[in-house]
C-alpha cells in the first residue's frame, strides 16, 4: 500500500515537472518572439528617419503603418499569453513543492537520489546556456540594420558613416561581453580544470569588475577532488558545483540589491561539514517575511534553500532593514 501511494505521488510529481517544462518552453519561445518584434520595430523606426529624407512624412507613415500595427498586435497577444503562463507556473511550482514534501515524508531519499536531482538541474543550466548563446544572435539584428544604414552614408556623408560604424563596433563589444558573462554565470567552465577555490576566486574577480564600489573579502579553503572511481568523482564534483551555485546566487543578490560597500565570504571545512558564511553591511530586508513569501521576486533565496536542502544541509538567513544580511550554510561533507 505504501509503495502504491509513493508510486502515485512520484508519477504526479513527474507529470507536474513535464507540464512545467512545456509551459516554460512556450513562455521562452514567446519571449524570444517578443524580442524579435522589438528589434524589428526599432529597425523600422530608425529606417523611417532615413526614409524621411527621400519620401514625404505622409508616404513613410503609410509605408510602415500596417507593419507596425501588426507587430504591436502580435506582441500584445504574446504578452497576454505570457501573463497567463506566469500564473500557471506559480501554481505548478506550489504543486511540485507540495508533492516533493509528501514524497519526502513517505520515503528517505538516499544520497544518489539527491545527486540525480542536482544533475538534472545542472544539465538544464547547460541547455539554457546553449540556448542563450544561440538566441543571442537575434541581438545582433539591430547591428545589421545599423551597418546597412552606414553603407548608405559612405558616399554622401563619410563622417556620419564612420560614426555609425564606431557605434556598431562599441555595441558589438558590449553584446560579446554580456554573452560571456551570462555563459560564465550559468556554467563555470574553468571549474573542472582549476578546482573549487580558484573558480570562486575567478568569480569574485569578475564580480569586482562589475561592482567596483564594494570591497569583497574572502577566505576559502582549497577542497581537492576526492580520489575514487569515476562515479564518486562525478558526485563530489556535483556536490562542489552545487555549493558554488549557492555562493554565486547569494553574492550576486547582495551586489544587486543590498547597496553594501563591504561583502565577506568564508568557506571552511570543519570536521565533517562544509560551512559557508556570507555577510554584507547593506540595507538589509525583513528576512522572515521574505522566507515565508511565495513572491517570484525572492526566487533566488528559494533556489538557494532548495539546493542546500538537497545536500541535507542547513540554510539560515538573518537580516533586518538597516542591519545588513548574513547567510549561514552548513552541509555534510561527503
Q: At what angle do helices 111-135 and 299-310 cross, to 10 degrees?
A: 140
Asked if pLDDT for residue 240 goes beyond 70, the answer is yes
Q: Are residues 311 and 248 in the same domain?
A: yes
Query: How many angstroms separate the CA atoms of 327 and 110, rounded?
Result: 26
The model's pLDDT over 122-144, given as tens digits with 9 standing for 90+, comes to 766 766 666 666 666 667 777 78
Query: Which sign does the torsion angle of CA 314, 95, 3, 118 carry?
Result: negative
Select the more confidently predicted residue: 279 or 6.
279
Query: Which domain covers residue 145, as residue numbers?
Result: 110-187
pLDDT category of residue 86 using cuts at 50, 70 and 90: confident
Q: Are residues 80 and 46 in the same domain?
A: yes
Q: How many helices (H) and strands (E) does the chain have?
A: 10, 5
Cross-strand pairs, 266: 219, 277
The model's pLDDT over 142-163, given as tens digits with 9 standing for 90+, comes to 778 778 878 887 878 888 888 8
pLDDT at 146: 79
Look at residues 187, 213, 240 and tell me which one is the last residue of a structural domain: 187
pLDDT at 294: 55
pLDDT at 276: 96
Look at residues 187, 209, 240 and tell me which one is the last residue of a structural domain: 187
Please spell the DSSP secondary structure of 210-222, one letter per residue.
Answer: H-TTSEEEEEE--
> Residue 75 has which C-alpha cell?
506582441
pLDDT category of residue 220 using cuts at 50, 70 and 90: very high
Asked if pLDDT for residue 1 goes beyond 50, the answer is no
Instruction: Show contacts of 96-105: CB within 8 Å, 24+ apart.
Output: 96/13, 96/16, 96/17, 96/20, 99/9, 99/12, 99/13, 99/16, 100/13, 102/9, 103/6, 103/9, 103/10, 103/13
Select the more confidently predicted residue: 170 or 134.
170
Quick one: average pLDDT of 313-318? Answer: 91
Asked if pLDDT for residue 53 goes beyond 60, the answer is no
Is beta strand 325-332 parallel, antiparallel or unpaired with respect to 314-319?
A: antiparallel
Lowest mean pLDDT: which of 102-106, 144-148, 186-190, 273-277? 186-190
> Residue 89 has which C-alpha cell?
507556473
Lowest mean pLDDT: which of 127-141, 219-233, 236-250, 268-282? 127-141
- Specify the DSSP class assigned to residue 107: S
Query: How many angstroms separate the CA atoms of 277 and 251, rounded?
Result: 11
Count of domains for the chain: 3
Select the more confidently predicted residue: 40 or 53.
40
pTM above 0.75, yes or no: no
Look at residues 158, 187, 216 and tell me which one is the last residue of a structural domain: 187
Q: Are residues 194 and 318 in the same domain?
A: yes
Q: Are residues 46 and 9 in the same domain?
A: yes
Q: Are residues 243 and 137 in the same domain?
A: no
- Specify the DSSP class assigned to residue 139: G
Alpha carbon 239 to its chain centroid, in Å, reads 20
Residues above pLDDT 90, as percent of the chain? 15
Query: Which sign does the torsion angle of CA 294, 296, 298, 301 carry?
Result: positive
Select the more confidently predicted residue: 194 or 277.
277
Lowest mean pLDDT: which of 7-11, 171-175, 178-182, 259-263? 178-182
Alpha carbon 134 to its chain centroid, in Å, reads 16
Please spell the DSSP secondary structure of 78-96, one letter per residue.
Answer: HHHHHHHHHHHHHHHHHHH
Instruction: Report the candidate in 98, 100, 94 with the shortest Cα–Cα distance to residue 10.
Output: 100
Asked if pLDDT for residue 278 goes beyond 90, the answer is yes
Lowest mean pLDDT: which of 41-55, 89-103, 147-161, 206-220? 41-55
Amino acid at each position: 500500500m505504501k509503495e502504491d501511494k509513493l508510486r502515485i505521488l512520484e508519477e504526479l510529481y513527474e507529470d507536474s515537472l513535464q507540464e512545467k517544462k512545456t509551459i516554460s518552453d512556450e513562455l521562452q519561445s514567446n519571449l524570444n518572439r517578443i524580442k524579435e518584434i522589438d528589434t524589428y520595430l526599432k529597425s523600422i523606426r530608425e529606417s523611417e528617419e532615413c526614409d524621411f529624407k527621400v519620401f514625404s512624412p505622409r508616404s513613410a507613415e503609410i509605408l510602415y503603418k500596417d507593419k507596425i500595427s501588426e507587430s504591436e498586435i502580435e506582441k500584445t497577444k504574446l504578452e497576454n499569453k505570457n501573463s497567463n503562463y506566469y500564473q500557471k507556473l506559480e501554481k505548478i511550482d506550489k504543486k511540485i513543492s507540495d508533492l516533493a514534501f509528501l514524497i519526502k515524508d513517505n520515503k528517505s531519499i538516499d544520497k544518489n537520489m539527491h545527486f540525480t536531482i542536482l544533475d538534472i538541474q545542472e544539465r538544464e543550466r547547460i541547455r539554457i546556456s546553449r540556448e542563450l548563446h544561440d538566441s543571442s544572435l537575434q541581438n545582433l539584428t539591430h547591428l545589421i540594420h545599423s551597418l546597412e544604414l552606414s553603407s548608405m552614408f559612405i558616399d554622401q556623408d563619410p563622417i556620419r558613416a564612420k560614426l555609425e560604424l564606431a557605434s556598431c563596433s562599441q555595441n558589438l563589444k558590449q553584446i560579446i561581453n554580456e554573452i560571456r558573462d551570462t555563459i560564465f554565470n550559468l556554467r563555470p567552465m574553468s571549474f573542472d580544470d582549476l578546482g573549487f577555490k580558484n573558480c570562486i576566486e575567478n568569480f569574485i574577480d569578475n564580480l569586482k569588475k562589475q561592482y567596483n564600489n564594494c570591497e569583497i573579502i574572502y577566505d576559502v579553503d582549497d577542497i581537492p577532488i576526492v580520489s575514487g572511481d569515476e562515479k564518486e568523482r562525478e558526485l563530489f564534483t556535483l556536490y562542489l558545483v552545487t555549493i558554488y551555485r549557492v555562493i554565486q546566487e547569494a553574492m550576486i543578490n547582495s551586489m544587486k540589491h543590498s547597496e553594501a560597500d563591504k561583502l565577506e565570504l568564508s568557506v571552511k571545512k570543519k570536521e565533517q561539514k562544509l560551512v559557508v558564511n556570507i555577510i554584507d553591511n547593506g540595507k538589509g530586508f525583513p528576512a522572515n517575511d521574505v522566507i515565508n513569501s511565495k513572491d517570484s521576486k525572492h526566487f533566488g533565496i528559494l533556489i538557494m534553500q532548495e539546493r542546500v536542502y538537497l545536500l541535507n544541509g542547513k540554510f539560515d538567513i538573518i537580516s533586518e532593514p538597516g542591519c545588513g544580511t548574513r547567510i549561514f550554510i552548513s552541509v555534510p561533507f561527503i
